[in-house]
Structure 1
Amino acid sequence: MGADHIRRWESGALAHAVSDPFGQGPLPWLRNSENYFDDAGQVVPWYADPQLARGGSGGPRTADDVHRQIKGFVSPGAALPGGSIDFHITVDPPQQFSVDIYRIGHYGGDGASKITTSPRLSGIVQPPPLTADRTVSCHHWWLSWRLQIPSYWSIGAYVAVLTTLDGYRSHIPFTVRDDQPADLLLLLPDVTWQAYNLYPEDGRTGASLYHAWDDEGRLLGERDAATTVSFDRPFAGAGLPLHVGHAYDFIRWAERYGYDLAYADARDLHAGRIDPTRYRGLVFPGHDEYWSVPMRRTVEAARDGGTSLVFLSANTLYWQVEMSPSPSGVPDRLLTCRKRRGPGKAALWREMDRSEQQLLGIQYAGRVPEPSPLVVRNAEHWLWEATGAGEGDELPGLVAGEADRYFPRTALPEHRKRILLAHSPYRDGDGALRHQETSLYRAPSGALVFASGTFAWSPALDRPGHVDSRIQRATANLLDRICKRD
């Protein structure tokens, strides 16, 4: 396999960059060749660990899916303080490695803080992934390390950084959650992350719900992709999900300003481990495209019970999925979405007479090839209060990636009040004029339901080069009102 092929598969951005112009985002330790500047032109210190910050200049090198220098996954993806996370890791060639555990947050601008480091661990070459009908699974890998989570650890989004003795590095995200009440519950979209996971990006066996490879190493489209993907495998490339940066942008901003946050994964929502009555609002900070029936049922019940909903991306609740156990019987380790293939009912919520708009107030309209301005509408509304935004003002680059809008012929949710807070023209891939909209409605229960309708909202909160103070203030206006139950 030539070096040109390996370079093609270094990162999942190859397959999906068109749908996420923000990529991974400025994560501590991951980016080493770029400087990020704030609005005042000051360099932003994104690296929590100076040694890792050096990256390409003698520091660790990123592992890849061709050589599998070090790759791994965890089970489960979320655990309580006092619980444990099991790491399944392959190391080639076999050698010692260590695991640094970081927690994502603001941390004075660092973006993360190192919490602990594992002892030196012995790495082995795990068996090749098993494949069946495009489904790739590593459920047969041996346990490499069990992380016992101390009871005093803070809940939150964590990243394990795996580093071999000879300096190769990979990553594994996981969540520490609890059941204590909080103002806001942040839901990390791990179901959608897995749908996009093309591991292994080796030109042969990897497959996601979007892509697979042919016999000559060419990337095939949705028609030839997997219909079932496994959580029992690493994430492709650097080991972080493709859209993870959206969630981390929101986390850094929200923790900087002291919001009372709880954390959970979409699979916790699916499995019934979440009681929405313990929270004033549920926040969906990133691309959250794939939903099971139990996920939607729980969120609709939350809204109807008075818990507000905040959707900070676009293309939410688009495909319906099913979850099933792994071959060894562990629940919710396989994700299935038939898309448009085979006989029977469609897999789109809107084609089952359960359109996204009936929950969100707007729904997916299409991709946005080039970032366009978000055009403010109803500027007198409290969401835009003290933002400095006036009627018709254009917020540059805030309609990007994918966009939602209101569909007049599609049913709306029951509501007391409803308003559109942006109406933004853009050109689609064919050059046709489209428009994006941002929505807010108050349900009969009193719950507020906000949908940004664009991928660019969370990055505008805390992504260097994308920060917009008007979006920051508008988001604060929304969350403050939810937390105070105004």
Structure 2
Amino acid sequence: MDRFRRRTALGLFVGGASAVALGPLDPVFGGRPGDSPNRLPIPPVSPVERENRAAGEPWWPEDDGRAADDRQRQIQGYASTTSVAHGEEIEFHVAVNPAGRFRISVHRLGWYGGAGARTMLTSPELRGVPHPVPIADPDTGVLDCRWPVSWRLPVPHDWTSGLYQAVFTSADGWQACAPFVVRDDRRPAALCVVLPVTTWQAYNQWPRDRRVGKSLYGGYRPDGRRDPELRARAVTFDRPYSGAGRPFHFDRDEAAIRWLERNLYDVSYATSFDLHSGRLDPARYRGLVFCGHDEYWSAEMRRATEVGLAGGTSLAFLGANSVYWHARIHPAADGRPERVVECAKTDPRRGADGSDPTLTWRILDQPEQALLGVQYNGIVLTPQPLVVRGADNWVWAGTGVADGDRIPGVVAGEADGVHAALARPAGTTLSSSPYPAQQGGRRVQNSHVYETARGAVVFASGTLGWTLALDRQGHRDPRIERATANVLNRMAGRRPAAVSPGP
């Protein structure tokens, strides 16, 4: 079928499973007024469950031989905001090389019977032209594109909250994409998934051309080798993600989302910036879910999360190396809010507003372990088994594991562990997994859970391999799925139920 034959959006071109039973829900989170506390109420169908009944199709082709790259930059673009509410407008800025026609299709990511996404609409045919790579700011290293708007999209009121991808396709088939989140500011779900956009952008090396690209991790020397001493002090969202536009570690968030929606959790979606700005109020949800690599946190993000936890909102960190760097958030040069992430990493000076230096939280005497119960301790050289500990804890209920059991390949990427010399919340260590560290020697990964006096749960998987064990072919493990369901069911107030087997 012609890739352009889709529903056409009313946008403005500018210039150039098996069911999982829901548990008892109170009226705030979906129960029905008047339900007897002794009866399991008939749960309403959540927007996510209803949405996933629609027919889906993959949002990105299996054969990405026509994926754009940073040398030719056949087609690339970025969105004007990381999240948008119903009725608000989002703009896309696209460059096409050589000049020619292109279209933008918008896809919502989810389960959709295993397809992984649904195509929501496609733009009219648009005209694209090349746009230059900007000169990096000499002080901060920021590469601010300031490309003109190619297309404006008013977000329909009936779109379900979720992670969306705008896919840019040129007339000769080259493709790139840009992610954004549709929020639902009207309805509180049981759980809110917070996507780590600050970390996505921190790792963005656009353009990965061995010449001018910069991230918070490095820039390029004249010989084309990446040098951490040439890294940017700040990065902007007013540029594409490198290559074809999928952020670094994006697949971990995508796997978690597929699993959550396959198992019919009542979820809404937001971003790091929504937590930073206050658009996301943790008190509206029973729990917040941080799916992937969530390394860069502003003081406002941490404060809002800690206040929410004190009020009884649970937290699930399904990745590792979370809440590691303190970052400052700034507006764009034209005043648009939340477009720049600053993290100098070695500068001890306070911000102009008196804010703490952009160093690690532990250097600022606020170690991440104080919130998570564990903290980052190394990069895993090769995937290792997760070694079970605390098997009698409720998190492992129904998994059939015993202390010392090994779950293959789950400790991967980066890992967290308990730091014995630092204060931490009283809780249960759920794994004790030796691994070879890139930093040298062998270290120990720990998963951890604790509960507050208000009954909130804080779970930290302590590994970047956890979400892949939920929904990555060749990595899925029913014990990790069951343990994750135990955590999220406790957070969301759901009765225990069988995990959907998936495909």
TM-score (norm 1): 0.86
The answer to whether 1:160 aligns with 2:169 is no
CA apart distance, 1:431: 5.1
2:234 maps to 228
Q: Distance in 2 between matches of 1:363 and 1:208?
A: 24
The one-letter code of the counterpart of 1:457 is W
The one-letter code of the counterpart of 1:362 is V
CA apart distance, 1:430: 5.7
CA apart distance, 1:90: 0.5
The answer to whether 1:311 aligns with 2:317 is yes
The answer to whether 1:115 aligns with 2:115 is no
Q: Distance in 1 between matches of 2:241 and 2:441?
A: 36
Q: Distance in 2 between matches of 1:141 and 1:291?
A: 28
Question: Greater share of strand residues, 1 or 2?
Answer: 1
1:6 maps to none
Q: Distance in 1 between matches of 2:223 and 2:439?
A: 30
2:416 maps to 404
CA apart distance, 1:341: 4.2
Q: Distance in 2 between matches of 1:50 and 1:451?
A: 30
Tell me the SS of whatever aligns to 2:274.
helix
How far does the alpha carbon of each residue in 1:98-136 deviate from its partner, in whole angstroms, 9 at most, with x for none? Answer: 111111111111111111111101112224323213624
- The answer to whether the 8 Å contact 2:162/2:182 transfers is yes
1:181 maps to 188
After the TM superposition, which residues 87-106 of structure 1 pair with which residues of structure 2 at under 5 Å, given as runs?
A: 87-106=92-111
Structure 1: where are the runs of 5+ without partners?
1-46
Q: Distance in 2 between matches of 1:234 and 1:176?
A: 19
1:23 maps to none
1:302 maps to 308
CA apart distance, 1:55: 4.5
- The answer to whether the 8 Å contact 2:78/2:241 transfers is yes
1:440 maps to 449
Q: Distance in 2 between matches of 1:62 and 1:477?
A: 39
- The answer to whether the 8 Å contact 1:129/1:136 transfers is no
CA apart distance, 1:218: 1.6
Aligned length: 432
The answer to whether 1:390 aligns with 2:396 is no
CA apart distance, 1:445: 2.1
Of 317, 342, 360, the residue aligned with 2:372 is 360
Of 450, 462, 465, the residue aligned with 2:471 is 462
Q: Distance in 1 between matches of 2:297 and 2:440?
A: 31
Tell me the SS of whatever aligns to 1:449.
strand
2:201 maps to 194
Q: Distance in 1 between matches of 2:141 and 2:179?
A: 21
1:151–1:287 CA distance, 2 compared to 1 (3 A): same
Of 341, 345, 350, the residue aligned with 2:362 is 350
- The answer to whether the 8 Å contact 1:209/1:227 transfers is yes
Q: Distance in 2 between matches of 1:158 and 1:364?
A: 30
Q: Distance in 1 between matches of 2:175 and 2:398?
A: 44
CA apart distance, 1:327: 1.1
How far does the alpha carbon of each residue in 1:446-465 deviate from its partner, in whole angstroms, 9 at most, with x for none? Answer: 21100000001111100111
Tell me the SS of whatever aligns to 2:380.
strand
2:386 maps to 374
After the TM superposition, which residues 465-484 of structure 1 pair with which residues of structure 2 at under 5 Å, given as runs?
A: 465-484=474-493
Q: How many percent identity over aligned positions? A: 47
Tell me the SS of whatever aligns to 1:351.
coil
- The answer to whether the 8 Å contact 2:191/2:288 transfers is yes
Tell me the SS of whatever aligns to 1:236.
coil
Tell me the SS of whatever aligns to 1:182.
coil
Q: CA RMSD in A?
A: 1.7
- The answer to whether the 8 Å contact 2:58/2:116 transfers is no
- The answer to whether the 8 Å contact 2:469/2:475 transfers is yes
The answer to whether 1:132 aligns with 2:153 is no
- The answer to whether the 8 Å contact 2:343/2:358 transfers is no
1:267 maps to 273
Q: Distance in 1 between matches of 2:262 and 2:59?
A: 21
Tell me the SS of whatever aligns to 2:492.
helix
- The answer to whether the 8 Å contact 1:319/1:347 transfers is yes
Of 432, 436, 439, the residue aligned with 1:423 is 432
CA apart distance, 1:481: 1.1
CA apart distance, 1:313: 0.7
- The answer to whether the 8 Å contact 1:371/1:397 transfers is yes
- The answer to whether the 8 Å contact 2:348/2:359 transfers is no
Structure 2: where are the runs of 5+ without partners?
1-55, 351-356, 496-503
Q: Distance in 1 between matches of 2:365 and 2:132?
A: 44
Q: Distance in 2 between matches of 1:160 and 1:50?
A: 9
1:120–1:307 CA distance, 2 compared to 1 (3 A): same
- The answer to whether the 8 Å contact 2:59/2:118 transfers is no
CA apart distance, 1:216: 2.3
- The answer to whether the 8 Å contact 1:286/1:312 transfers is yes
After the TM superposition, which residues 199-210 of structure 1 pair with which residues of structure 2 at under 5 Å, given as runs?
A: 199-210=206-217
CA apart distance, 1:91: 0.6
1:86–1:434 CA distance, 2 compared to 1 (3 A): same
Q: Distance in 2 between matches of 1:270 and 1:455?
A: 23
CA apart distance, 1:329: 1.2
Q: Distance in 2 between matches of 1:464 and 1:368?
A: 21
CA apart distance, 1:429: 2.8
TM-score (norm 2): 0.83
Q: Distance in 1 between matches of 2:390 and 2:230?
A: 45
CA apart distance, 1:433: 2.3
The answer to whether 1:215 aligns with 2:222 is yes
The one-letter code of the counterpart of 1:217 is G
- The answer to whether the 8 Å contact 2:448/2:459 transfers is yes
CA apart distance, 1:202: 1.5
The answer to whether 1:72 aligns with 2:77 is yes
1:100–1:50 CA distance, 2 compared to 1 (3 A): closer
CA apart distance, 1:328: 1.0
Q: Distance in 2 between matches of 1:385 and 1:411?
A: 28
